[in-house]
Structure 1
Amino acid sequence: MIFRKAIVYDLPEIVRMLADDELGSKREQYEDPLPTAYYEAFQEMENQQGNQVLVAVENEQLLGFLQLTFIPGLSRLGMKRAQIEGVRVDQKHRGKGVGEKLFKEAISLSKKENCSMVELTTDKKRKDAHRFYERLGFESSHDGMKLHLKNPS
């Protein structure tokens, strides 16, 4: 298994995995061709320093991914942190250590970027994911809040 930064060619598989669960099926649009919004968002991420989709690949097959963003900040004496979100492992590869190896790679990259903390977001309904993250050493420390804005387009 190798880890690399996602390329535009990976987008259909990434969107397929995003849509392949109870929550994602309600908010993603996996279709052929993919909606241009996914390509536009990917290009914006490519243009933004410190924001990437990290993919796990084996035999040219995408096994899983996560979005990893490095965020400089002023609080905590100018601490830099890493943010992980959008974690997915293809259903047929779950339980094989893909997610754990993907997280270890993300944490290693975060250390190389001099981050002092790795944070992640996870939906409160994803109880299995919570147990997985806790097993990796993550602790529930804050409640997140969202304000949904009307789509500007």
Structure 2
Amino acid sequence: MGPPSSLVEGGRRPLSYPCGRLRAMDFTIGPAGPEEYDPLGEITAQAYLRDGLLDFGESDAYLGELRDVAKRAATAEVLVAVADGRVLGGVTFVPAGGPMADIARAGEAEIRMLAVAHAARGRGVGEALVRACVDRARTVEGCARVVLSSQRAMRSAHRIYERLGFLRTPDRDWNPLPDLDDITLVTYQFTL
């Protein structure tokens, strides 16, 4: 099966959503099904743990949130990348605010919890998931921007965002745990 037919700048081919799963290189991206929730939750938790992004390791309260894909899917859209029946990674797309939004304002969609299995890194999975969110945002009526928060240490993700045209928005940086000064999240936005 060939890549999607429409082109964007630089000759890159966008993924389309929500019309089912589409092929991107050697994997497909589409809405997560219930059978994919547990594998994606574990990939997300392990990505944060192995990359040293949780302050308290296995005892970090946020770890439960990372593993609870069913909860995310009940209030937002969860996309997964799959190859040969294996979940490679996923992302949560929050259209037009909602309970999963951290920083989205009116006219903005938000990307949350982008994670790729360690064994699948370097294959373009993270970039394809972010592109799928941008493509999805273009279908949301009144959506003008896509926003996201990221930890300072997530440099690989930052390179993806910047390569795709996301811009840093330091005026929106924020701290989810005000009692801990060193937890400030950096923010990005992409104007549609």
Could you tell me the TM-score, scaled by structure 2's length?
Answer: 0.60
Q: Deviations over 1:95-118 (max 9, x none)?
A: 111112111111111101132101
- 1:71: Cα distance to partner? 1.8
Number of equivalenced pairs: 138
- Residues 36-86 of structure 1: CA deviation (Å, up to 9, x unaligned): x66x954444443xx12111112111111111101259xxxx942110011
What is the distance in 1 between the residues matched to 2:152 and 2:44? Answer: 17
What letter corresponds to residue 121 of structure 1 in structure 2? Answer: S
Matched, 1:55 2:85: no
Alignment match, 1:94: 121
The aligned residue for residue 188 of structure 2 is: none
CA-based RMSD:
3.1
Normalised TM-score (structure 1): 0.73
Runs of 4+ in structure 1 displaced over 6 angstroms?
Answer: none
Please give the secondary structure, in 2, of the residue aligned with 1:87: strand
Query: Residues 94-133 of structure 1 correspond to what in structure 2 (within 5 A)?
Result: 94-114=121-141, 115-133=143-161
Runs of 5+ consecutive residues of structure 2 not aligned to the other structure: 1-26, 99-104, 179-192
Contact 1:18 1:24 in 2 (8 A): no
Retained in 2: the 8 A contact 1:64–1:90? yes
CA distance in 1, matches of 2:149, 2:54: 15
Cα shift at 1:28: 5.5
C-alpha distance in 1 between matches for 2:128 and 2:53: 24
Distance (Å, rounded) in 1 between the aligned partners of 2:72 and 2:87: 19
Change (3 A) 1:79 1:102: same
2:44 to 11, 14, 18: 18
Q: Name the counterpart of 2:28.
A: 2
Tell me if the contact between 2:97 and 2:110 (Cα under 8 Å) persists in the aligned partners.
no
Q: Is the 8 A contact 2:89 2:125 kept in 1?
A: yes
Unaligned runs of 5+ residues in structure 1 are 30-34
User: In structure 1, what is the equivalent of residue 16 of structure 2?
Assistant: none
Contact between 1:81 and 1:119, CA under 8 Å: does it hold in 2? yes
Identity %: 25
2:107 is equivalent to residue 80 of structure 1: yes
**Aligned twin of 1:145:** 174
Contact 2:134–2:146 (CA under 8 A) maintained in structure 1: yes
Distance 2:85 2:169 in 1: 37
